[in-house]
Amino acid sequence: MSQSGLPVFDFAQVLPLGMCFPARMTVLPLGGGQLALVSPIPIDDALGAQLARLGEVRYLIAPNLLHHLYLPAACQRYPEARVLAPPGLLRKRPELRIDLTLDQPLPAELSAAVEVIALAGAPAISEYAFYHRPARTLVLTDLVFHVLSPEGWLAHLMLWLGGCHRRLAASRFWRMKLRDRTAFAASVQSLLERPFDSLVMAHGEPIHEQARPRLASALSWALPPRAALAAPS
């Protein structure tokens, strides 16, 4: 359980070339003991038992077009769970079962606790953020990294090349994929308007103090100067 009140589960992911890069699944508790899993990681029996103690898994969420590798196995483990994903994921993974795209209205039991914010302007990533109202926590995936203790020289190198080595920052990869800066700036401003106290991302240490101003600073490059100054503190 993280300090934010949202259960999180980390996975020591090994990428091509042997790069060690931590990944995280965030659990969104809903009413009535129901759960939504954002960016599922491999779920074995031990992790499944931990999740069962938290509640019933009703939703599996792919938060962008990059975090879907372990979704098929999660679907097999939770066949009754509904799968939510960006609208473009079905073209990328036509074998996946997707019940609802994230640009559609959410089921009432999900929308009662969670607000979905589209991060426009980077269609190749098509990321969605999730604001969990009861926990006052913003959940991001690849928009920012905050890996403070990289494992292995390759992780250090790639984070340094990406401009996010041991700090909260958007990677140069994200900036390269940006196609509409105006739309993206509006999305960032929308994120900063949410009254979150904690920030959880898929890669790196969660932030539980000064989360909004720190995110505003990390994304100030995307905002007009006045908007960056006006970001809530």
Cβ-based neighbours of 228, under 8 Å, separated by 6 or more: 216, 220
In the chain the domains, ranked by start, together with CATH numbers, are: 8-101+112-230 (3.60.15.10)
Rg of the chain, C-alpha, whole Å: 17
pTM of the model: 0.90
pLDDT at 175: 87
pLDDT at 19: 58
Q: Please tell me the distance from the alpha carbon of residue 123 to that of residue 92, in angstroms, as a whole number.
A: 13
Per residue in 64-91, pLDDT tens?
Answer: 999 998 999 999 999 999 999 999 999 9
Per residue in 107-141, pLDDT tens?
Answer: 999 999 999 999 999 999 999 999 999 999 999 99
Cβ-based neighbours of 128, under 8 Å, separated by 6 or more: 63, 64, 86, 102, 116, 117, 118, 119
Instruction: Using the predicted structure, report yes or no on whether residue 231 has a pLDDT greater than 80.
Output: no
**Residue 165's pLDDT band (boundaries 50, 70, 90)?**
confident
Main-chain dihedrals φ then ψ at residue 226, nearest 5 degrees: -65, -40
Mean per-residue pLDDT, 191-216: 94
